[in-house]
Structure 1
Amino acid sequence: MADNPSVLFVCVKNGGKSQMAAGLMRQLAGDRVHVNSAGTHPGANLNELSVTTLREIDVDITGQKPKPVTSDLVGAADLVVILGPEARLEPVDGTRFEVWETDEPSERGIDGADRMRLVRDDIAARVHQLAQELGPVKIHGSPATSIVIPTK
Structure 2
Amino acid sequence: MPRADRPTSSPDGAAGADRRPRVLFVCVKNAGKSQMAAALTRHFARERLDVHSAGTQPGRAVNAESATAVATLGATFDGEHPKAIDPAVLRTADRVIIVGSAARLEPIDGMLATIETWHTDEPSTRGIEGSERMQLIRDDIAERCRTLVGEMLHRTQG
Which structure shows the higher strand fraction?
1
**Structure 1 Cα separation of the partners of residues 130 and 85 of structure 2:** 27
Contiguous gaps of at least 5 residues in structure 2? 1-14
Which 5+ residue runs of structure 1 have no aligned equivalent?
A: 137-152
Q: Deviations over 1:10-49 (max 9, x none)?
A: 0000010000000001011122110000000000100010
Is residue 2:63 matched to residue 1:81?
Answer: no
C-alpha distance in 2, partners of 1:70/1:33? 17
Matched residue SS, 2:146: helix
Q: Which moved more, 1:54-63 or 1:28-37?
A: 54-63
1:36 aligns with 2:57: no
Runs of 4+ in 1 over 6 A off after TM superposition: none
SS at structure 1 position matched to 2:101: coil
1:140 matched residue in structure 2: none
The number of equivalent residue pairs is 136
1:108 to 2:126 alignment? yes
User: For residue 26 of structure 1, what is the amino acid of its counterpart?
Assistant: R
Q: Percent identity?
A: 49
Q: Distance in 2 between matches of 1:60 and 1:32?
A: 17
Question: What is the TM-score with the length of structure 1 in the denominator?
Answer: 0.84
Q: Give the aligned CA root-mean-square deviation in angstroms.
A: 1.6
- Does the Cα contact within 8 Å between 2:93 and 2:112 map onto a contact in 1? no
Q: Distance between the aligned counterparts of 2:52 and 2:107, measured in 1?
A: 17
AA at the equivalent of 2:81: K
Taking the TM superposition and a 5 Å limit, the aligned residue runs for 1:3-152 are: 4-92=20-108, 93-135=111-153
Paired with 1:4 and 1:73, the residues of 2 have a C-alpha distance of 13
Q: Deviations over 1:81-139 (max 9, x none)?
A: 00111101112443232100000000000001100000000000000111111125xxx
Q: Residue type of the partner of 2:149?
A: A
Q: Hey, what's the Cα distance between the residues in 1 that align with 2:120 and 2:58?
A: 19
- Scaled by the length of structure 2, the TM-score of the pair is 0.81
Structure 1, 65-74 or 101-110: larger mean CA deviation: 65-74
